Amino acid sequence: MSSNVSLVETVKKQYAFKMKAYIDAFSSLVGIQFIAFLFSLGGGSSSMGTSDGYHFELKFYSADLVIIFTFIWIFVTAITITTKPYRNQDFTFVTNRMSSSLSNILFLLSASLLGAFTAVLSRFLIQTVAYFLLKEDLYIASVMTSEMMIGITVSLLYVFWISSIGYFVGTLVQIHKGFALLIPVIVIGSLFYDGFMQRYAMLLILFQFYFLESSMVLFAIKTLITTAVLFFASIAILNRMEVRR
């Protein structure tokens, strides 16, 4: 007998399926954050000595690098799940383009949440290892629980925002392989061109729009709107695409 299915039900099933099937994305997250953690332990140091017999050394610890690596990870992950094998495996089971995209977005949201959370938390791992294993005397910038929450929320907004960029880029590449070449050329080309014209890089101005925003509310609005627009555009494009298995 033919069975009726609802979009919501299908999205739920696809989402559950992807959380199981894309488990490798999570292990690569652990790997990438671990590498960033190792870099963080050694990185950010500077020193100065004088002839008077003094040598000063300064080391900064923070999870900044782990967060940056997490950005890269989500970007690559978002592009990866738009590629053919991943799209095709959706269509081995029940789906349409809409449920495929929506479940992808839900997956990216979950991945972003996990990535942002572990990235911000890794600061404690860094400071614990620095103190107990590297026997460092630490000055620790105070952070309140509320600030920690801000850190996680903002990291989540950033990571999810970057995932939408990755998903959009991946979608464009699916339309035409030429975008895989065109996009890096435009990005790097604009940097070079602005450098050549001796003016402030457009791309930096674009990024400052987000990174220099000091109002939490405005920042959330900016990133969420951008994220929504990019995902919406991706869905619109993918919705017309054939799945050539």
Binding to other proteins (CB under 8 A): which residues in 126-155? Answer: 126-132, 136-145, 147-151, 154-155
Residues of span 53-72 touching other proteins by CB under 8 A:
53-64, 67
Distance from C-alpha of 6 to C-alpha of 52, rounded to nearest angstrom: 78
Contact residue for other proteins among 82, 101, 103, 118 (CB under 8 A): 118
Phi/psi for 5 (5° steps) reads -135, 145
Of 101 and 164, nearer to other proteins (C-beta) is: 101
* Residue number with CB closer to other proteins (1 or 197): 1
Q: Does 111 bind other proteins (CB under 8 A)?
A: no
Q: Which of residues 207-236 bind other proteins (CB under 8 A)?
A: 211-216, 219
Residue 126 and residue 63 in contact, taking contact as beta carbons nearer than 8 Å? yes
Contacts of 158 by beta carbon, 8 Å cutoff, 6+ apart = 67, 71, 116, 210, 223
Q: Which is nearer to other proteins, 121 or 183 (CB)?
A: 121
Cα–Cα distance between 201 and 190 in angstroms, integer? 7
Which of 122, 163, 164, 174: binder of other proteins (CB under 8 A)?
122
Q: Which of 105, 111, 120, 169 binds other proteins (CB under 8 A)?
A: 120
Which residue pairs, CB below 8 angstroms and at least 24 apart, start in 25-30?
A: 25/77, 25/80, 25/111, 26/111, 26/114, 28/73, 28/77, 29/70, 29/73, 29/111, 29/114, 29/115, 29/118, 30/118
How far is residue 51's CA from residue 102's CA, in Å, rounded to a whole number? 64
| Contact track, other proteins, 3-32, x by CB under 8 A | xxx-x--x--x--xx-xxxxxx-xx-xx--
Q: How many residues bind other proteins (CB under 8 A)?
A: 96
Q: Check residue 242 for interaction with other proteins (CB under 8 A).
A: yes
Q: Record the tokens describing residue 13, joined without a space.
A: 């099933």
d(CA 134, CA 72): 28
Q: Does 198 bind other proteins (CB under 8 A)?
A: no
Report the residue number, 186 or 225, with the smaller CB distance to other proteins. 225
Distance CA 130, CA 67 (A): 18
Whether residue 140 contacts residue 127, with contact meaning beta carbons closer than 8 Å, is answered with yes
Tell me which residues in 71-110 interact with other proteins (CB under 8 A). 85, 88-89, 91-99
Token readout for 239 is: 């919705």
Which stretch, 72-80, 184-192, 198-206, 237-245, contacts other proteins (CB under 8 A)?
237-245
Nearest approach, Cβ of 116 to other proteins (angstroms)?
A: 8
Site for other proteins in 156-185 (CB under 8 A): 158
